[in-house]
Amino acid sequence: MDLEQFARELSSASATIATGLEAGFRVIVKEIEETAKEEIGVYQPAYGPFDAWVSLAESTKADRVRQGYSEDEPLLRSGELRDSIESEVVGLAAIVGTKSQIGFWQEVGTDSIPPRPFIGPAYVRKINPLMEATGLAITRGFRGY
């Protein structure tokens, strides 16, 4: 194989890899979104760098019941926060998140609310499948399928 043919092979592999990466990202990013949604309403254990969720305060539980919600489903009331979680893939860039200010406060905590992260841990849970999908896309790109 001469250098010109090698350059053509690399160019072809590059296009195949990019297509494979984007397809893999779409699957994994959707899984991250679904995982984050599933965390709403259920106490989460410590995961990676994220601490376990602190139990709701008794006053919060009482307020939830007064408003007609279940006593002890953290972050879940109307489902608005859960339903605000979205994902998007553009080329090789991907994001999962919420535009909800409440979601931000819950994710990082405030002076009066302990953090109950649901986006960060979802990413961490899916990092290995993302790395596997990346490796598979690269391997397939160089093999030509």
Residue extents of the structural domains in the chain: 26-134
| Of 61 and 4, the one with more pLDDT | 61
β-pairing, 86-90 vs 93-97, is antiparallel
What pTM does this model have?
A: 0.81
pLDDT at 113: 92
Residue 76, Ramachandran bin (φ over 0: left; ψ between -120 and 50: alpha; else beta):
beta
With DSSP H G I counted as helix, E B as strand and the rest as coil, what are the percentages for the chain, rounded to 5? 55, 10, 35
pLDDT at 24: 82
64-101: pLDDT as tens digits: 999 999 999 999 999 999 999 999 988 778 899 999 99
CB 37, CB 103: distance < 8 Å: no
CB 76, CB 143: distance < 8 Å: no
Spell out a b/e string for 35-64, using b for 16 or more CB atoms within 10 Å of the CB, else e. bbbebbbeebeeeeebeebeebeeeebeeb
| Amino acid identity, position 13 | A
Winning range, highest mean pLDDT, from 6-10, 21-25, 45-49: 45-49
Q: Which of 108, 134, 131 is nearest to 49 (CA)?
A: 108
